[in-house]
Structure 1
C-alpha cells in the first residue's frame, strides 16, 4: 500500500501483468521466449546507462544499439555475444544503480557475504510485487491459506524473510517473523510463541530448524511439529531432509532457489523447484569445456547456472555467473525443474579422502536406519580429524552404531559428543557449508572468512580447542 497514487497504480499493474505472464507461460507449455526480445531491450537500455555495463559492452555496442532500436536480431544471438559477469561486476552495478536511481528503490538489502564482501541488493516496489506473485502463484498449489507460518531467518539484512512474509501473506497465511541473535530472542522464546500460535508451516534455513529441535531436546521441552517446512538459504541434502522429516513429522520442501542479487530463480511447487523461465533467460555452463547452452534446449543436464534477469530493470543483471552447480530437467509438461548441486568449491579433503556435504550427510542420516545426531562439526588439525556432534538422548553404543558408516569412510576419525557446538555451526545460510561445518585448525592454513564473522570464527576455534583438549566436553 502506497500513498502515492501513481506508484500504487504501477505496482497494481505489475501484479496484474505478472499473473497474466505466468498464465501465458503455463498455457504455452512453460515457454515465454516470444516475450524475451521486448523485455531484453528494456533491460539492455537500462544497463547502458550504468558505467560498468557501458565499459563491458564497448565492443558489442553497435549490435546492442541496433537491437534496442528494434532490429530483427535474434535474442540468443545478442545474449550469446555478451560477456559473463561475476560478483565484482555485480557489486559495481548494484552500487551504480543505487546511487543513480536511489529514488526508485524502496528497500535496501545486502547479500550475506558468504563468499565475498556483501553486495547491495536494493529492491523497487515493482520488484517486490513481481517476486511476490512468482512465489504466491506457485505456492498456492500446495499451501493451505488457513495455515500459520513461523519464519525463522537469522539474516535481517537480506531480503529472504521480508519476501517470504509477503509471499505467504499473498496466499492468505498468517505469519510470525523472528530471528535468534539477541539475549531475549532465543530459541526458548520461539518455542513459547510456537506454543501460542501453533504454526503448521516453518520457513527458513535447515540449520535453524535443527537448532530449534536441538534446543527443545536440551531443555526437555515439547518440540513443535510442522505439516510443511519451506527450506531456503542453504542446501538441504537428501540426508538432512530425511533427518528433518523425522523431527518435524511433516513434508520438507525446497522453498525456492536464488540469491539476494539474482532474485528468485526457481520456486517450489508440489513436485519440485520450477525454474522461472518466464522471468529469466537461463543458460548452463559446462565446467569442462566452458561452453554455455540455453536451458530451453536442455532435456537433462548439469552445469553452472548463468542468468539474465528480465523483470528487474532498475538494477539489471545480465549473464551473471552464479557459481552454483545445478541440474536442470525438462518434464513432459514443458516445465524445467532445477536441483541445486552445491558450489564447485563445496568439497573438503579429510586426509586422503575428499567428501562433500551430500556424501557426509547421507552417512550421518541414512535412509531407513536410526539417526540420532542433531548437529555436527569437523575439526581438522595437523595430527588428526575430529567430529564434534550433539545428539538425542541415547547411549554411546547406540550413537557409535549410527556413526559406523561415516567412520568406515574416514579411517582414524575421532568422535566427541558435546553438550553444544559453537554458534557458527548454526550459520550455514550466512557462512556456507564448509565454513560453518568444517573448521581447519592446521598451522599455516589459509581460510577465507567474511570480515564481519572473523571474531565469531576465532571464538569457535577457541571453543573447539578447549573441547579437543578435554576442558569442555
Structure 2
C-alpha cells in the first residue's frame, strides 16, 4: 500500500495497517468492545492534544493537566469536561493544531478556505493508512476487479483526490485524475480518456459530473456513461441522485462523508448507506437539548466529532456545522455501525418571507420526474426583491409553455414570490463549485445580499463577479437581463 525506503518505518506501517484492518472488520461485524476501544484511544488522543498549541489557547493549562492524568477507567469522565471546539477557533488556530514537527507529515493540504481562512490539514503516515483502510473496506463491497475509475476533483490543495487515489490503489483499481479548468470548463480531454480507457466508475462531486455531461451535450459529443458513481463533497439528496442515475445509466452512491479537517467520518456500503466509522471517531450530536453521544438509536442534530486516530492533529469535540440524522436502522450489507444521513448545513437554507427552502426541497420539485420534451441538466436560483429566477440548462431549446410548467412545479416553495424559469446555454461559473462553497453559495445568487459578497476571498470573489456579469447585474452588466 505504501512504498517506504526505511525498513523500520515500513515494518511499523505494515503492523499498523494489519492491526487496524482487524479492528475495522471486528467493528463492522459487531464483535468488538467498542467502549473499551474508545477509552484506550481517548486517553492517547487526550495526551496528544496536550502537545498541541491549539488546546493551550482554547482550554488552558489546568484542563491539559487533567488530560495528562487520564486513564482508560476515567477517560470518559474527563472527556465529559472537554469544551466544544468551534469552526472559527480551528480556522483561526489551525496551524497550531499539530503535535509533531511539520516535516514529519508526508503531505501538506489545506481546506478550501473559500468562505474564510483555510485550515491546515496535512496527512501523516498513520492518518493516511487508517483513512485508506476505513474507506477501502466498505468500497470493496462496490468496486470490482477490472474497474477503471475517473477521479474528477478540482482541488489540488485539499486531500480528498489523493486520498481516493490511495483507496483505489489499496483495492487494486486503476484510476486517472485529470484536471479541468474552472473558467473555460473544457472537458474534451476528459471525455476522450473516458472513452479510450473505458472508465466505468466516477469519483467526485456531482456538480463536476453535471458540468462534464453538459459540455458533452453542448459540443455534440457522446455523453459519458458509467456503471457506478461515488459522489462526494456536496449535499446530494435522493432526487439529485436519481437525476444523475438517469443521465449516466449508473448506480449512484454518496461515497463518503467528512472534511479536510476531520478526515472521513462515514463511508457508503453496497446498500447505499453511509456507515459511521465508530472505531476511528467518538461522535456526538448537539442541538437545543444539549450534547449526547451517538449510540445507534434514531436521532438528529449537529454532528460533533472527536478524532481517535489522528494523533498528529487531534480534534476534540469539533462542531462540524453539519446537520445529520442517525436512522437507527440495521443495514442489509451486514455492517453493524450506525447509518448516517446528511441533512445539509444550517446556513444552506434560503429564507423567503419566513419560509425556509432547502436544497432537497427544490431538487425534489425539479427532478422528481422529467417534464416531457426536455431534460434539465442543472440549475441556479437568482433572487431579487420579490422575484425568483430559476436558471436551467437543458438538452434543447424549451418553449415558453414548457418553462411555465416547470415554474408552476417549483412555485409552491416560494409562496408570495414571482417565479420565472429561464433556460440558458450555460450556467454562471459558480454552479460548478458546490464542493468548495456548499449549496447556497454555489447555486443561489441572492442579489439582495450583494453587499456581503465582498467577504469572499479570491478567486471565488472573481467568480461571483463573473457570474453577475453573465447575468447582467454586475458593475459592467447590461441592464435588464435578469
Q: Match for 1:378 among 373, 378, 381?
A: 381
Give 1:97 deviation, angstroms: 4.5
Who is 1:199 aligned against?
Answer: 199
User: What does 1:18-417 align with in structure 2 at a 5 Å threshold?
Assistant: 18-29=20-31, 32-55=34-57, 56-67=59-70, 70=71, 72-73=73-74, 75-91=75-91, 94-98=94-98, 100-181=100-181, 186-271=186-271, 272-286=273-287, 288-289=288-289, 291-296=290-295, 298-332=296-330, 334-351=336-353, 353-367=355-369, 372-382=375-385, 384-393=387-396, 395-396=398-399, 397-410=401-414, 411-417=417-423
* Residue pair 2:30, 2:337 contacting (<8 A) in 1 also: no
Q: Distance in 1 between matches of 2:428 and 2:380?
A: 9
Q: Distance in 2 between matches of 1:218 and 1:400?
A: 24
Q: Distance in 1 between matches of 2:304 and 2:454?
A: 25
Q: Distance in 1 between matches of 2:121 and 2:45?
A: 17
* Residue pair 2:92, 2:117 contacting (<8 A) in 1 also: no
Query: 1:388/1:30 Cα in 2 relative to 1: closer, same or farther (>3 Å)?
Result: farther
Give 1:356 deviation, angstroms: 1.0
Bigger shift: residues 157-166 or 58-67: 58-67
* Residue pair 1:301, 1:329 contacting (<8 A) in 2 also: yes
User: What does 1:442-461 align with in structure 2 at a 5 Å threshold?
Assistant: 442=448, 445-447=451-453, 449-452=455-458, 453-461=460-468
Who is 2:471 aligned against?
Answer: 464
Give 1:60 deviation, angstroms: 2.9
Q: Match for 2:13 among 5, 11, 18?
A: 11
Query: 1:360/1:185 Cα in 2 relative to 1: closer, same or farther (>3 Å)?
Result: closer
Which stretches in structure 1 are left out of the alignment for 5+ residues?
A: none
Which stretches in structure 2 are left out of the alignment for 5+ residues?
A: none
Q: Distance in 2 between matches of 1:44 and 1:219?
A: 56
Give 1:25 deviation, angstroms: 1.2
Q: Report the TM-score when normalising by structure 1.
A: 0.92
2:436 corresponds to 1:434: no
Q: Report the TM-score when normalising by structure 2.
A: 0.91
Q: Distance in 2 between matches of 1:237 and 1:30?
A: 33
Give 1:466 deviation, angstroms: 5.8
Q: Distance in 1 between matches of 2:184 and 2:432?
A: 18
Q: Distance in 2 between matches of 1:93 and 1:46?
A: 17
Deviations 1:237-295 (A, max 9, x none): 22211110100111110000000000000011112001000100000112x22x11111
* Residue pair 1:112, 1:158 contacting (<8 A) in 2 also: yes
Give 1:182 deviation, angstroms: 6.7
Q: Distance in 1 between matches of 2:86 and 2:300?
A: 19
Q: Distance in 1 between matches of 2:354 and 2:12?
A: 59
Query: 1:342/1:221 Cα in 2 relative to 1: closer, same or farther (>3 Å)?
Result: same
Q: Distance in 2 between matches of 1:346 and 1:317?
A: 24
Q: Distance in 1 between matches of 2:92 and 2:19?
A: 30
* Residue pair 1:372, 1:402 contacting (<8 A) in 2 also: no
